[in-house]
Chain A
């Protein structure tokens, strides 16, 4: 069973629509991350989340993005009004074993904005 599960695996949406990507860790992870990979490009950091609040975010993570962990289990990334350039693979990652531990990635959610 994977350490981190992401849903959906692929979502197609119209520009301007809201999208929610979900991440479920299975172990006692404390730190959570979202990364983005535009097709053919490198993996970019979006945001880190610790103790139910954002600990760091990149310049990519603007007001269109938000994260939360509403039920203590699911970790979600919301994009309020999607743009064409939001089309990418979104990876959730969780750090187990404290801030020096191993980082486990989910299988990714592919977002296609039309």
Chain B
């Protein structure tokens, strides 16, 4: 089975801190994604990557950056956390064969105080 893991299930940070959210997948998938999920807004794509060292902005990239130095790992960085970045963050990966099913990690609930 495909496994996508995220470094933390719950995280509490203070305004202005630099925050790293890590995501690792074990299926040699090319594509990886970061979403945030907020009540009433569904999933919103922050950034995605279709190869090592490649990144593309999603729908809401402001205030975030990403890093993909290795194929299996995709990191989301909040350079200076703000309270409006309190949210559930979901990572996903997808291969380029078959039906392109996207597999999700368990999510990180981030609270910025």
Do A and B pair up? The answer is: no
